[in-house]
Amino acid sequence: MIAITDIVLGFALMLGLMFVGLHVGAVLFLLAVLGATIYINPAVLASLGNQIWVATDNYVLLAIPMFILLGELLVRSGCTDRIYQSLSNLLGGLPGGLLHTNIGASGLFSAVSGSSVATAATISRVALPEMNRRNYDARLATGTIAAGATLGVLIPPSIIMIVYGAMTNTSVGRLYAAGVVPGLLLLVLFMVCVVVCCLIWPKMGQSTRTWVKPSMAVRLRGILDLFPMLMLFVVVMGSIYLGWATPTEAAAVGVLGALIIVIGYRALSLRLINECLLATIRMTAMIMYIMVTAACLNYILGITGVPQTLASFVSESGTTPLQIIVALLVFYLILGCFLETMAMVIGTTPIVFPIIMSAGIDPVWFGVFLVILCEISLITPPTGMNLYVVQGVRGEGSIVDVMLGTLPFIIGMLVLVGLIVIFPELVLWLPRLSFG
């Protein structure tokens, strides 16, 4: 088997190449070629074509373009404006006012789009003009949007969960079920963070215009505007949890539901369909490119005995599962400052997953743990994608304001990590209830 020092050097090389800006897919394929040349035989590279076919010949991967298309339809049709206005009528009276609306709208939109970047861009366009008009504190206002958008990684449907499930042969349905309770809990923690900040620093949530409580009729109309999105989530996720459909079939049903909503809002056009399809193709191609190169590297790692070496190293060192989790927590927090989420998941899972399995850690629980850490990476400088998306839509001031505004929510995420470590049933209860 390959030596542990060689594995460490190879992993360091991978991170180094990513840090200098080389595309993650190119890095993974380059490592596969180097591994085959140095440790096996260059002739083995001829069999990589079969591995690429095996990696892509997976029915569950069809859910990726479906969920991307679902989110694009809702983003580009203007459905978010109705959601935001409805939630502002319902949540505007809480301490922090429209800051809770930012989080609530992000959570609801995340529940049907599965994309944090799309959520950040969409909610920013709707919320920031209103935040500026009412003179909300720029730091906390932008922080609620950037942090709230991370819920798209955890609350199903999550594209990263599909990728993790495909790479580790873990049930995507179980992963989706596992993400529901932590996702809702994180949404509540975010709202608690807003309340605490506004109680300590009242001016952060105070606006120059006093919030006027809407009439009951206005609130009811707002609930009716939320109803299509809620029903879409119930249909898509309910069909998976009840065993009526696979994630791929549920995603197809979700696209049909999104089309019905868009038609109902009279927003359907050939231009809209064209833009949505092109965006879906670009995003799907990027994800599949990374997954294909990761499959090549995984194949080489398997031949060289990397999983067995890592498992033996962990078992011989006497490390406890809790120590492994703490070490991985620190590792991913540091890594998240330099890599984006997809690179983190695909680049590290082949190395980390054997350690997890040898330690007896549930792969579904670890999937949720990994996704929460990916959420943190979306709002940690210098590479947090949501920070730049929100600042790009904002178009004024400094990105430092956005970074400072996310700090309370990073604390909230770390609290959630602590809760699922102490109470793993928060993650595992619903999958066991739904799937046995």
Spatial distance between the Cα atoms of 408 and 286, rounded to a whole number of angstroms:
32
Per-residue pLDDT, 115: 67
User: What are the residue ranges of helices labelled H in 305-358?
Assistant: 306-317, 321-335, 341-358
Give the model's pLDDT for residue 206.
57
| Model pLDDT for residues 254-299, shown as the tens digit of each residue | 899 989 988 988 888 999 999 889 988 988 888 888 888 888 888 8
Q: What is the pTM of this model?
A: 0.81
CB atoms within 10 A of CB 210: 9
Q: Which two tokens stand for residue 179?
A: 């993400």
Cα separation, 163 vs 61, whole angstroms: 8
> Does residue 301 contact residue 307 with C-beta atoms inside 8 Å?
yes
- Please name the amino acid found at residue 242: L
For 277-291, 316-330, 335-349, 396-410, which range has the lowest pLDDT when averaged over its residues?
Answer: 335-349
From CA 402, how far away is CA 381, in angstroms rounded?
Answer: 10
State yes or no: pLDDT of 428 exceeds 70.
yes
Average pLDDT over every residue of 202-227? 67
Query: Closest Cα partner for 209 from 341, 350, 98, 346?
Result: 98
Per-residue pLDDT band at 208 (split at 50, 70, 90): very low
Specify the higher pLDDT residue, 363 or 98.
Answer: 363
Please tell me the predicted confidence (pLDDT) of residue 163: 87
pLDDT band at 425 (very low <50, low <70, confident <90, very high): very high
Q: How confident is the model at residue 1 (pLDDT cuts 50, 70, 90)?
A: low
Separation CA 328–CA 355 (nearest Å): 10
Pick from 204-208, 321-325, 344-348, 412-416 the range whose average pLDDT is largest.
412-416
139 and 405 Cβ atoms separated by less than 8 Å: yes
Q: How confident is the model at residue 93 (pLDDT cuts 50, 70, 90)?
A: low
> pLDDT digit string (tens) for 41-89?
888 888 888 878 877 777 778 888 888 888 788 877 777 777 777 777 7
**How many other C-beta atoms are found inside a 10 Å radius of the C-beta of residue 179?**
28
C-alpha distances in Å from residue 11, one per residue of 6, 218, 369: 9, 57, 21
- Provide the mean pLDDT of the chain: 83
CA distances from 392 to 23, 125, 364 (A): 22, 10, 35
Q: Where do the domains of the chain lie?
A: 4-435
Q: Residue 415 corresponds to which tokens in the numbers above? A: 């609290």
435 phi, psi to nearest 5 deg: -120, -5
Q: Which of 17-21, 352-356, 391-395 has the lowest mean pLDDT?
A: 17-21
Which pLDDT score, from 0 to 100, does residue 285 have? 86
Tokens of 74: 């809702």
425 is written with which tokens? 């049933």
Q: What percent of the chain has pLDDT over 70?
A: 94
Using the predicted structure, report yes or no on whether residue 154 has a pLDDT greater than 90.
no
